[in-house]
Chain A
Amino acid sequence: MTVKNDHKKLNRFAQRLVVEYKKASGSPPDFALSWQPLWSAKVDRITINRAGSSSVAVIWFPNLRWDEGISLAWGDMVRIRTDHRLEHKRTVLFKGFVTNYMSGYCGGSDKANTSYERNAVACSDFRWLLRVTSPVFGQIARGPDDYTGYGTPSQTAISGSYTYLSGRRVIFNPGGLGNCDRTELAFTNPLDLSTCNIPIFCNTGDGDLWTARKMLRYVLSPIYNLAYRYFPIPDPNDLAGLAHADFDKVLFNTVADGLNVIEAVSSICRHVGWDFREDYSNDDTVSLVFFKPGSASSYSRSSSSQTILHHLYCPPAGESIAAAVAAGRKILWHMDLAEDIAAVINKPWGFGAPHRFEFTAELVPAWLDSRLEPDTSEDNSRLFLTEAALQSITDPNSYSYYKYYHPRGSAFLRDVGRKWALNEAGSYTDADTYDRGVPFDFADVIDDEYIKDADSGKRRYAPFNRQLLPCLTLDKDSVNSVGIKVEFSFDGGKNWQVITASISSLRSEAGIYINEANLAEMVDQAEGKIEGGALDGVQLNLWSSLCDDKLSNRSFKDGNWKTRVRVTASVQLDSRLGLKASPASPTVGSPFHHSQLYDFSEKYGIEKRTTSSSFSTSSLPAAEKGTDEWFDKHLEAIRDANQDMSISGAFTLERLWLGEGGGSPAFCLGDGIEKIAGREYPLSIQLSGSTVICPEICQIIYLPDKQKMKLITRDLRFAEDVLI
């Protein structure tokens, strides 16, 4: 029985699929040049899968008992095709390799035909072979010996020469920096002498940024394709769909190391919202075809339109099916369609990162005044010791300065003179203890626009502890934050100076800790002396200045201390950018307002350098963020994509649509089901603008025994980020 062109006739003939094989011999195997038919095999089912999931064909041998030997062995190559007598009119539905023996046996019951023996094999496609044979690790790059004149102005890459660096991970654009060599590798494949250009790695920051296309060309290159003998991709740049501008997108920090080729391709495609499938042509080639979900807009397939739209036909009640059959309609025999509003999101809420502001503010001493007891004995000679003086003292713990206020002292009081805090939570306000005045008010340094409620005027933060973060101000190269700037004053805040010292930011509150071993070594830059009081004439340094304040009974709360510390840093507050998209009007999908939180901390937020910052008048730039119009559009796009019901379904057609001698199957992965004709039931959803999406075929199951085929669809909103 041969394939009949009977798709327009009521009386159809079962279409037979021919199983052919090539024997594998050796390891890794060689295959015979010609296909051998396997007439005793029947195709149970062929499941065509998308992206990284291999397609699988199950074939069985009805004339064999489960333990009897079959013609197929592990690794044999199998092809399943239509049986058209003309080769160019045949459709190849599957090609792959024997990977699984499936034996079954049942004694049955008293009822007829309940016992069986089953001798079957499952075959996996070429993506499976790539997955199991071709790991991605180590970088292809140029070493010193891959250049002529290395290290000289005339340094030139040697054509075709490269070095495999197994110790370097395959991470594209790490940290947002380009590491793609500007000169691609001209590679000649020793297996078939085919040539292609392969983008390769170079030192991070010295190269171009990798685009998604370059990444795919890299991982699919013959260097990583260890199954090239069986699945040759001479030049990945020629793969269908890869020329689309979407693949020009630059992806940062993309890790392919440790994946296999197919996993890496899937990962990269997912980031640009694309998908891929494995196609077969009747000239025996296998290829990967890239397609964009939801992009089908025409009804005939071409090289520029890899996915198409279909109308399935469900005869209206009372109508004869004759006309539909005569017109060659793809008639639905069985359908499970789920249209669901449960997952509708028509009022998405989006949040940016918590507000962050750079400011300059004075800190309060975070120790009890009673803990600081200056030793003024022996004419102030025991007030402090320099590190040099300590070297000559045999018992430094006999000095109170060393014993209590030096980190190596036996009774070290670790906070005194060293811990300075913003007092943002009022921890140092209590008059009976620290008595450092009222809690810090962020409204003093941040514009009302950001810190106060527009209606009530209430401050939008609470007295909670927070941490000082690096400044938004960048260094002169506009690359890194200048960090946290700490300044000291010994004259009550009239003059500020930066003293080189080891200082860290406190983790549990906004403040700093001076790690410097000897506070007396933090000397006034003007090399001044204390004037007046008990310490008159003593060298002015951080310790002596603090002692002077203590001995002079000055009140910090009243602003009398001459010793001051201020910090320029950023802090994260308690509010964040928030938007809610309104449901479309008139309402579609659900009558309720379905909300879902979207955290866009990575994308949106308010980060400002306030005028209080000591850097605000400098020429240094700041990495600021403001309200972003894209935030609004982003939320609206999410609403548009999710406000209607989801549609997903399983459609079984009453015959196999194998291309009717056209050489390729009628349905491919990525195709859309636009509507159920006959009953005139639309399945497409109009999004914002002219965008229309349909349920997309994500799996095709051929059932030759039943002469039927099943299309499994998914709702595109659950596909990749194709809509935004």
Chain B
Amino acid sequence: MADLATIFGSAIKVGVQPRQSERQYAGFPGAHGVTSMAMGTRGRQLIISGTFYQAGGSYAAARAALQTAIDVIETYLWAASADYTYGNETYYNVVFDKLSLVPDAQGKFFHWNAGGYVTANFVCYGRVLI
């Protein structure tokens, strides 16, 4: 069971949305009311947000290294469902749908810090299938 902190780094927050119902509604011309057909649910949405950190000798070198790390994380988007842990929680049968970098107010994704590393904020959407 992989730890989400191992994949996304330790500067993350993990949250799970409640399930949402999926229904079909059947109406009848001229009549009032519909019947609803509960078609089940589509699992829970898993949201992982945080910041990537990557050290480097220069902005360019650090950013390139971070991009390489993001490319590795990206491969989880087409991985089979798996169980993951974070903190004291275990998330079962998780697949990842989307990974996005979040720009700052000026539209900048990567930031150079005086300590010699590049950071980037991100959000990743997954789904707990069950």
Contact = CB atoms under 8 A, between A and B. Distances in A.
Interface string B8-48: 00000000000000001010111111111111100000000
Given A11-B38, A12-B37, A13-B37, A318 B30 contact: yes
Interface stretch (A48-56, A309-317, A546-554): A309-317
Contacts of A331: 26, 28, 35
A655 B35 contact: yes
Contacts of B38: 11-14
A325 B37 contact: no
Interface string A225-242: 000000000000000000
Interface string A328-348: 000111000000000000000
Contacts of B31: 315-321
Interface residues of B, number: 15
Interface in A600-629: none
A319 B30 CA distance: 8
A585 B80 CA distance: 74
A20 interface: no
B7 to A, nearest CB: 24
B35 A12 contact: yes
Contacts of B37: 12-14, 654-655, 707
* A1, A12, A325 — most chain B CB neighbours (10 Å): A12
B114 to A, nearest CB: 43
Nearest to A314: B28
A1 B40 contact: yes
Contacts of A706: 24
Interface in A1-46: 1, 10-14
Contacts of A319: 31-32
Contacts of B39: 14, 707
The majority secondary structure among interface residues of chain A is: loop
B28 A320 contact: no
A501 interface: no
A321 B28 contact: yes
A322 interface: yes
Interface in A651-678: 654-655
A47 B30 CA distance: 31
A317 B30 contact: yes
Contact of B36 (A11, A318, A320): A11
B35 A316 contact: no
Contacts of A314: 28
A609 B39 CA distance: 78
Contacts of B26: 331, 333, 654
A235 B36 CA distance: 47
Contacts of A12: 35-38
A87 to B, nearest CB: 24
Contacts of A1: 40
B32 A318 contact: yes
A654 B24 CA distance: 10
Nearest to B30: A317
B19 to A, nearest CB: 13
B113 to A, nearest CB: 38
Contacts of A13: 37-38
A654 B25 CA distance: 9
Contact of A325 (B24, B30, B35, B40): B35
A59 B63 CA distance: 49
Contact of B33 (A316, A320, A707): A320
B33 A321 contact: yes
Contacts of A332: 28
Nearest to B24: A707
Nearest to A318: B30
B58 to A, nearest CB: 39
Interface in B97-111: none
Contacts of A320: 31-33
A679 to B, nearest CB: 9
A321 B28 CA distance: 8
A10 B35 contact: yes
A333 B28 contact: yes
Given A333-B26, A707-B24, A321 B32 contact: yes
B28 A14 contact: no
B36 A315 contact: no
Given A316-B30, A317-B30, A14 B35 contact: no
Contacts of A333: 26, 28
A250 B31 CA distance: 54
Contacts of B33: 10, 320-322
A654 B33 CA distance: 13
Contacts of B24: 706-707
19 contacts: A1-B40, A10-B33, A10-B36, A314-B28, A315-B30, A315-B31, A317-B29, A319-B31, A320-B32, A321-B31, A321-B34, A322-B33, A325-B35, A331-B35, A332-B28, A654-B26, A654-B37, A655-B35, A706-B24
Interface of B: 24, 26, 28-40
Given A12-B38, A14-B40, A320-B33, 20 more contacts: A10-B33, A10-B34, A10-B35, A12-B35, A12-B37, A13-B37, A14-B37, A314-B28, A315-B28, A315-B30, A315-B31, A316-B30, A316-B31, A317-B29, A318-B32, A325-B35, A331-B28, A707-B24, A707-B37, A707-B39
